[in-house]
Copies of this chain bind each other. A is one copy, B any other.
């Protein structure tokens, strides 16, 4: 899975601009995939050349014309080829690596670091709760898409809870 596939997946829901893609990716799968705007604009350019997307200018009263991208037949075909091959996940987790390597930083450092982390992660959890309230309830049990999307949000929330619990447990044991 690469950014091309992710972008095609979103354009497969509805046509949108590079700016929209950036916001949408961030606020939905942001926890599972991160992409910056230069990366998105660059990839869209490449995908035009590949014939996976087309675009139309959407003139606005103010500011530059939005480029609204639409997935093509070829794009859709590519998407459906790519999606089923689920690759293993990649992680860079500096906190845990630092824990493994950084006992020299001392007890006081770790106490404070853990307190800070707990605070940060609890803020993140609140953000997810807010999103949860905003999404529509999954209606019919026939709606696989709605169910799967809600389940990814559940993952974010439950993971966050798990992580906070682990952090608090570690802090408690370090304190005594």
Name A residues whose Cβ lies closer than 8 Å to a Cβ of B: 1, 6, 9-10, 12, 28-29, 31-34, 80, 83-84, 86-107, 109-110, 113, 117, 141, 144-145, 147-149, 151-152, 154-155, 158-159, 162, 166, 170, 173-174, 176
Contact = CB atoms under 8 A, between A and B. Distances in A.
A94 B174 CA distance: 35
B110 A144 contact: yes
Contact of A101 (B9, B113, B117): B9
If over half of A's interface residues share one DSSP class (helix, strand or loop), that class is named, otherwise mixed; here it is helix
> How many monomers of this protein are in the complex?
2
A94 B103 contact: no
Nearest to A149: B100
Given A31-B91, A91-B31, A166-B154, A83 B102 contact: yes
Given A80-B104, A91-B90, A6 B97 contact: yes
A92 B95 contact: no
A93 B148 contact: no
B174 A166 contact: no
Nearest to A148: B99
